[in-house]
Amino acid sequence: CMKWARLSFGCEALDKCTQGGIVTRGITEICGVAGSGKTQLLLQLSLMSQLPLEFGGLGAGVAFICTEHAFPSKRLHELSKTFTQKYPSININYLAQVHVQQIHNSEQLLKCCAEHLPPLMASERIRLIIIDSVAAVFRTYSDFIQRARDMRKLANCLLNLGDRYNCAVICVNQVTSISKKQSEIPCLGLAWSHLGRTRLRISKVPKQIKYDDKLLTVRKLEIIYSPETPIAYAEFLITGEGIVN
């Protein structure tokens, strides 16, 4: 029986709230409005993943699938320098272990996960798969039955790879608000939500904190549901050096 691992956020408050980070089991969804900080969190996790287990990592690289924007390689490079300074005893070529795929529609996404990822995972050490985002490719469907079928196909591919390589799988989702009073709800409906195991939401808090002489917006990560973690939330900041609490 394989032992499930946890990938640390590299941020104490977020680790505490999630009881150690992202679990290498099932699909973890991270949802939030544009600009809430999803991509920044994913970049940090992509670097954390490469650290040895005793530092909270998974000792392996990441397959990072972009569907919305071009991959922010400049920012990853910047953050990797912080990691090199923060963990001087660890000699990792961080950028070489982030395998980026740029995808434009659901057909390409399914093909990537079914045909491209398996040989990549077999030849490289990868224990984190990220899709940023699933919403971008699935929101455009008008046939919801076909959409449900395709989302299930995607989830099956990801779950198979996750099980086989004891790997964490993170899918980013967008949110919509039905009315101004109601809080944002994740896109893609029930057909998508029941495919995920854990759902996290990030949002901005109407509060700012001074950090390094700069006023930074406070952000919040909430557990919407998770089989092993109670409902909880934690606040964090996005700084030049990454996510901190």
Instruction: Out of 7, 17, 151, 238, point to the residue binding ligand GTP (CB under 6 A).
Output: 238
Instruction: Out of 10, 21, 32, 57, point to the residue binding ligand GTP (CB under 6 A).
Output: 32
Instruction: Out of 2, 4, 12, 35, point to the residue binding ligand GTP (CB under 6 A).
Output: 35
Instruction: Out of 39, 46, 67, 198, point to the residue binding ligand GTP (CB under 6 A).
Output: 39
Six-digit token string for 230: 């109670």
Q: Pick between residue 206 and residue 227 the one whose CB is nearest to ligand GTP.
A: 206
For position 52 contacting ligand GTP by CB under 6 A, the verdict is no
Instruction: Out of 25, 38, 99, 197, point to the residue binding ligand GTP (CB under 6 A).
Output: 38
For position 97 contacting ligand GTP by CB under 6 A, the verdict is no
For position 37 contacting ligand GTP by CB under 6 A, the verdict is yes
For position 56 contacting ligand GTP by CB under 6 A, the verdict is no
CB 7 within 8 A of CB 238: no
For position 40 contacting ligand GTP by CB under 6 A, the verdict is yes
For position 75 contacting ligand GTP by CB under 6 A, the verdict is yes
The number of residues making up the chain comes to 245
Residues within the interface to ligand GTP (CB under 6 A): 32, 34-40, 75, 238-240
